């Protein structure tokens, strides 16, 4: 789900966390391995930095906007590349702080998924999860192949919410491109939700209803929509700097000017819901069992959008995963607690480099 780049676009939906007994059973239960915490020095961070610059990049028959965070570590230090994938209604700007904190270890790239942020909509209008997977695969291959140190090496893949689900599916499909996998509150399938949301799902799946929902996305002032989304996505909304609020409102106004913004949000949501009905190899829980990359699962224990009780289930389903549950944090840990999240990611990279 969204951060500042998408605060204007979140539909008003109820808390959709499933009851404890509804978490899918995917493998024998076990005790997840705790994430490490790196003690490495981090780049200077004063609580805010401007968004990283970017450019348009051809991908999957269209174009996406890709931001770049330069490597800021020592010339002789470990140096990799990372790709960051945002959630539903979000944007590449959701990764500004985390990408900066990790720049002493990796050169960072953050994309706007097709139809979100500054990316154009897909040329064929398709917003299925599989289409987002294809776009991320194309960008991942481009990032890996770029000249310079690390050219041709697998890339560290980091995703949040919808972007976490997409990243997991990419890692299962293209292990050759993924060095490590970090999932922050990924939108893993759940199979029983409250009755009110069941009706919302049914409505979105009906022909014609998504078009009506597209018109409702922009109702209300941008400031009100931003604050509503902040309350949904953060465990403690007071942590958000005022400058981030102003940025988010400007992003909301930009999205209001994009004729495709409402369609991208509602049809991607519809695609996400449809993906939850997949069985066999297309099912995300089954795909998780086939991920070979060393992985990290990060979850805030105040996540209102994806139940944190799914965190240990996912961490024990992935073959080689560590788990960090952050107290008092909501759905976007990379924004609400960027330093703590960065230290857990760095510990993963340090472990992978030492293997």
Q: What is the pLDDT of residues 274-321, one digit of tens each?
A: 888 877 777 999 999 999 999 999 999 999 999 999 999 999 999 999
How would you class 172 by CB atoms within 10 Å of its CB: exposed for 0-12, middle for 13-18, buried for 19 or more? Answer: buried
Angle between helix axes 209-216 and 195-205 (nearest 10 degrees) is 110
Which residues, in sequence order, are CB contacts of 120 under 8 Å at separation 6+? 62, 63, 64, 114, 260
Residue boundaries of the structural domains of the chain: 4-9+31-354
Q: CB–CB of 94/86 below 8 Å?
A: yes
- Phi/psi region, residue 152 (left: phi>0; alpha: psi -120 to 50; beta: rest), is left
- The predicted pLDDT at position 219 comes to 57
Do 109 and 84 contact (CB within 8 A), yes or no?
yes
What confidence score (pLDDT) does residue 192 get? 53
Secondary structure (DSSP) of 96-110: HHHHHHTTTTEEEEE
Q: How is the beta sheet containing 294-300 ordered, strand by strand?
A: 33-34, 321-326, 294-300, 178-184, 155-160, 80-85, 106-112, 62-69, 54-59
**Residues paired with 296 in a beta bridge:** 182, 322
pLDDT of amino acid 162: 96
Give the whole-angstrom CA distance, residue 104 versus residue 83: 15
Of 321, 322, 349, give the one whose Cα is nearest residue 103. 349
Q: 178, 143 in Cβ contact below 8 A?
A: no
> Residue 195: which residues within 8 A CB-CB, separation 6 or more?
none
Determine the Cα–Cα distance for residues 258 and 247; give it in Å rounded to an integer: 17
What is the C-alpha to C-alpha distance for residues 120 and 113, in angstroms, rounded to an integer? 9
For residue 329, what are the contacts with CB-CB under 8 A and spacing of at least 6?
Answer: 234, 235, 236, 300, 301, 302, 303, 336, 337
pLDDT in tens, 82-123: 999 999 989 999 999 999 999 999 999 999 999 999 999 998
C-alpha distances in Å from residue 256, one per residue of 62, 63, 219, 304: 22, 20, 10, 26
Question: Measured between alpha carbons, how far is 96 from 92 in angstroms, rounded to an integer?
Answer: 8
Long-range contacts of 147-155 (CB under 8 A, 24+ apart): 148/107, 149/71, 149/79, 150/79, 150/80, 150/81, 150/107, 153/80, 153/81, 153/179, 154/178, 154/179, 155/80, 155/81, 155/82, 155/83, 155/179
Q: Which residue has the tokens 């979100």?
A: 116
pTM of the full predicted structure?
0.87
Q: Percent helix, strand and coil across the chain, each rounded to 5?
A: 45, 15, 40
Pick the CATH number of 4-9+31-354 from 3.40.50.1820, 1.10.132.50, 3.40.50.300, 3.90.1150.10: 3.40.50.1820
Averaged pLDDT, groups of 10, the chain, 355 residues long: 44 36 44 95 89 94 95 91 96 97 97 96 91 97 96 98 98 98 95 47 46 52 88 92 90 89 88 83 90 98 94 97 98 96 98 81
Reported in sequence order, the residue ranges of the chain that DSSP labels E, i.e. its strands, are 33-34, 54-59, 62-69, 80-85, 106-112, 155-160, 178-184, 294-300, 321-326
């Amino acid at each position: 789900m969204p951060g500042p780049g998408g605060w204007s676009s979140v539909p008003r939906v109820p808390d959709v966390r499933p009851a404890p007994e509804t978490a899918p059973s995917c493998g024998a239960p076990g005790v997840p391995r705790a994430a490490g915490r790196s003690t490495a020095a981090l780049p200077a961070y004063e609580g805010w930095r401007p968004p990283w610059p970017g450019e348009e990049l051809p991908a999957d028959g269209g174009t996406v906007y890709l931001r770049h965070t330069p490597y800021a570590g020592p010339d002789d230090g470990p140096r990799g590349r990372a790709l960051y994938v945002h959630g539903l209604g979000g944007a590449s700007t959701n990764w500004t702080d985390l990408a900066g904190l990790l720049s002493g270890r990796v050169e960072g790239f953050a994309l706007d998924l097709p139809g979100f942020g500054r990316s154009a909509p897909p040329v064929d209008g398709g917003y299925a999860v599989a289409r987002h997977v294809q776009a991320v695969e194309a960008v991942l291959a481009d990032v890996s192949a770029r000249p310079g140190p690390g050219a041709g090496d697998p890339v560290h893949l980091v995703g949040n919410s919808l972007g976490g689900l997409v990243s997991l599916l990419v890692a299962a499909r293209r292990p050759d491109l993924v060095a490590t996998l970090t999932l922050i509150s990924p939108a893993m399938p759940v199979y029983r939700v409250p009755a009110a949301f069941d009706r919302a799902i049914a409505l979105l799946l009906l022909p014609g209803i998504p078009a009506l929902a597209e018109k409702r996305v922009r109702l209300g002032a941008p400031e009100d929509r931003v604050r509503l989304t902040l309350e949904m996505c953060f465990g403690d909304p007071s942590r958000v700097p005022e400058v981030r609020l102003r940025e988010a409102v400007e992003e909301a106004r930009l999205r209001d000017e994009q004729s495709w913004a409402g369609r991208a949000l509602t049809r991607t949501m519809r695609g996400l819901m449809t993906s939850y009905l997949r069985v066999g190899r297309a099912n995300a829980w089954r795909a998780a069992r086939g991920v070979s990359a060393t992985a990290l699962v990060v979850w805030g224990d105040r996540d209102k959008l994806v139940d944190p009780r799914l965190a240990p289930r996912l961490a024990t389903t992935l073959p080689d995963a560590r788990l960090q549950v952050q107290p008092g944090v909501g759905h976007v840990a990379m924004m609400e607690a960027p330093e703590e999240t960065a230290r857990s990611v760095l510990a993963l990279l340090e472990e992978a480099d030492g293997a």
